[in-house]
Amino acid sequence: MMVGSREFRSVGTVLAGLDAVFAQAERPVRIDACSCCLRPDEIEVLLRTPRQLLSVEDIQPYASVAMLGAGSAADLRYFTPRILELRHTGEMHFLDIEIVYDHMHRADWKSWPEAEAIVELMEALWAEVLTDYPDSEDPGALLPAFGTAVGTVAPNLASWSRLTTAAAVHSLRDFLTDEVKLRHGTLMPNNAFWNVDGDAHHEVIEWLNGGAARQAVDRALARGTEDQDRSRSLVESHAVLAQVRAADHPT
């Protein structure tokens, strides 16, 4: 898929190749876990079943507590391609994306030999936000997930700000109307998984309140479009972002 002048492989293509990319990650021979987090029979299934054959029921208990009450960075590296595949294909939809990427952060995924493939997946996921509305992952979940995993979402906000596709426009409208609240004159993302002390959270706050998001919408409105749905989404986004100015200068 093309986003601007860049071409990205699709999320499905990247996911399909992850098992091969992680071929050198060794299957664990044991998984240490407290019994309240992972039962011995659940561990046994993980140890004896080839990674690509693990079902949602097999891996979900581990994926929920990895790096917290169970497992190590080494065994999470081994299971990561299957966890990502099941989560991003929607089969393991009840496990929050933010939790998956937080666990990878705790395991220092950037040090893994396969880190480049994870970066490619994140780029593909974001490219879908900008091209595949409403079927992409929720950007309101991807931003805190990527913020935890990478430490910055500045590139995501920059690409979103171009607003050159209908998908980018509609996804921004949904984000602003459903996942952002005005609190004491400041627009704040309301996802509870945000690390509010992290750089990425501050980047989003500045983007929403410092004028960059509003200017992006203003530019898109100035360009004009014959797509009435797109125009309506831009107007709705502008109304949300204008609350900051109104809060600063109450009548």
- Return d(Cα 234, Cα 172) in angstroms, integer: 9
Q: What is the DSSP letter of 197?
A: T
- Return d(Cα 140, Cα 179) in angstroms, integer: 7
The angle at the Cα of 250, spanning 249 to 251, to the nearest 5 degrees, equals 115
Give pLDDT, residue 92.
Answer: 97
pLDDT in tens, 136-161: 999 999 999 999 999 999 999 999 99
pLDDT in tens, 59-90: 999 999 999 999 999 999 999 999 999 999 99
Provide the pairing of β-strand 6-7 with 180-183: unpaired
Q: Which residue, among 166, 153, 247, has the nearest Cα to 207 in the 3D structure?
A: 153
At a CB cut-off of 8 Å and minimum separation 6, what does 35 contact? none
- Return d(Cα 136, Cα 131) in angstroms, integer: 8
- Return d(Cα 98, Cα 103) in angstroms, integer: 9
Token readout for 148 is 């935890």
- Domain coordinates in residue numbering, the chain: 2-113, 133-248
Q: What backbone torsions phi and psi does residue 30 show, to the nearest 5 degrees? A: -155, 155
Give pLDDT, residue 248.
Answer: 59
Under-50 pLDDT residues of the chain? 249-251
SS (H, E, C) 92-121: CCCCCHHHHHHHHHHCCHHHCCCHHHHHHH
Residue 58: burial class (beta carbons within 10 Å; 0-12, 13-18, 19+)? middle
Give pLDDT, residue 8.
Answer: 87
- Return d(Cα 86, Cα 179) in angstroms, integer: 25
Q: What is the DSSP letter of 186?
A: E
